[in-house]
Amino acid sequence: MQVEYSPDGIYLPAIGLWLDPRATVPAAWLSHAHSDHARGLHQTVIASAITAQLYRHRWPLPAGRQQQTLLLNPNQSIEWNGATLTARQASHILGAAQLLVEHQGERLVYTGDIKRRAPICGWPTEPTPCDHLIIESTFGLPIYQFLEAGIAQTRIANFALECLAAGQTPVFQGYGLGRGQEIAHTLALHQIPCQIHHSIAALIPYFEAEGYTFPVHSGGGAILVTPGLEEKIPLPPTKRKVALVSGWAALDNARARANADVLIPYSDHADFSELLQLIAESAPSQIDIVHGYAAPFARILRDRGYNARQAAA
């Protein structure tokens, strides 16, 4: 199946469908609700129910504007312009899904952002055999190796408890959608109270609707903010310690770049080993690499015998 890559996104001309477009288009599949993948007011949106809810929260529909939303939850299929579209679970953030496109005997899978390990909040990935795989490679170098969710949760909780026992305030950096809620949920499981920045707290109800618990808001305990806001906390540096929970924490230089005292290398993206595992499980004859270290990761795959290329925009 022909795939076109442009600054506006990924397009499948045979069936008139865009994949996570960066501009407003007639019809779009949204793999998840991060704003670099789910943006614009498309005429038709296809997404999982959770992604659709989060997308609408972040992109309210103006009065008088019409939009068709087709919900496609994992293992559900719809017919679309001569193709069969099937959603498959993706471990990334809450509601993330891969898209399997079956058209004229070919199976194409678009992963969106994905990892192979189970997340703290969200679905585990369902590997999907295909002929043509479009996969992201945000961390597609061997230097990136991340923690399992359970180990990361232990590190998060221990950091908070050790800080509190020493009379210091633990501060966590977490993204507004995904990591922030995962850190907050981890603190709740260990009964650690937390003050949560409003950009993270505003999306907690969507996670609560899926059964995840969150800390009691308190004037004490830990503080959870989005990256860069820790310096605005009215506490002197001697009274606080900062933890960076991120894939970038796999590199020691992240300590200085993120102004963090402790690095916890946990990510909602696949590390190098996870990418290789997912590709082996998918067994594609053609691999297109998007995002991140696309060019070097494609070279590594070719050296391992895969037909892989960097997808040029």
Architecture of domain 4-142+269-310: 4-Layer Sandwich (3.60)
Instruction: Give the separation between CA 21 and CA 248, rounded to whole angstroms.
Output: 25
As to burial, measured by CB atoms within 10 angstroms (0-12 exposed, 13-18 middle, 19+ buried), residue 256 is exposed
Query: Tokens 């923690």 — which residue?
Result: 147
Find all residues with CB under 8 Å of 190, minimum gap 6, and list them: 157, 160, 161
Instruction: Give the separation between CA 44 and CA 30, rounded to whole angstroms.
Output: 10
pTM check: above 0.85: yes
Q: What is the pLDDT of residue 227?
A: 81
CB 10 within 8 A of CB 73: no
Q: What is the pLDDT of residue 260?
A: 92
Two tokens, residue 180 = 């922030």
Find all residues with CB under 8 Å of 292, minimum gap 6, and list them: 136, 137, 138, 139, 140
Q: What is the pLDDT of residue 313?
A: 57
* Pairing mode of beta strands 77-80, 97-103: unpaired
Q: Where in the chain is the domain with CATH 3.60.15.10?
A: 4-142+269-310
Rounded (5°) CA angle 125-127-131: 140
* Pairing mode of beta strands 97-103, 83-89: antiparallel
The b/e string for 116-150 (b: 16+ C-beta within 10 A; e otherwise) is bbebbbbbebbbbebbbbbbbbbbbeeebebbebe
Chunk the chain into consecutive blocks of 10 residues (it has 313) and report each block's average pLDDT, rounded to whole numbers: 95 98 97 94 97 96 91 98 98 98 98 98 98 97 98 98 96 94 97 94 97 84 86 84 95 89 97 98 98 96 98 74
CB 230 within 8 A of CB 242: yes
For the chain, the straight-line distance linking the first and the last C-alpha, in angstroms and rounded, comes to 17
Class of domain 149-264: alpha beta
Instruction: Give the separation between CA 185 and CA 214, rounded to whole angstroms.
Output: 5
Give the E-state strand segments of 81-165 in sequence order: 83-89, 97-103, 106-110, 132-136
- Residue 114: Cβ within 10 Å count: 26
Q: Where in the chain is the domain with CATH 3.40.50?
A: 149-264
CB 146 within 8 A of CB 177: no
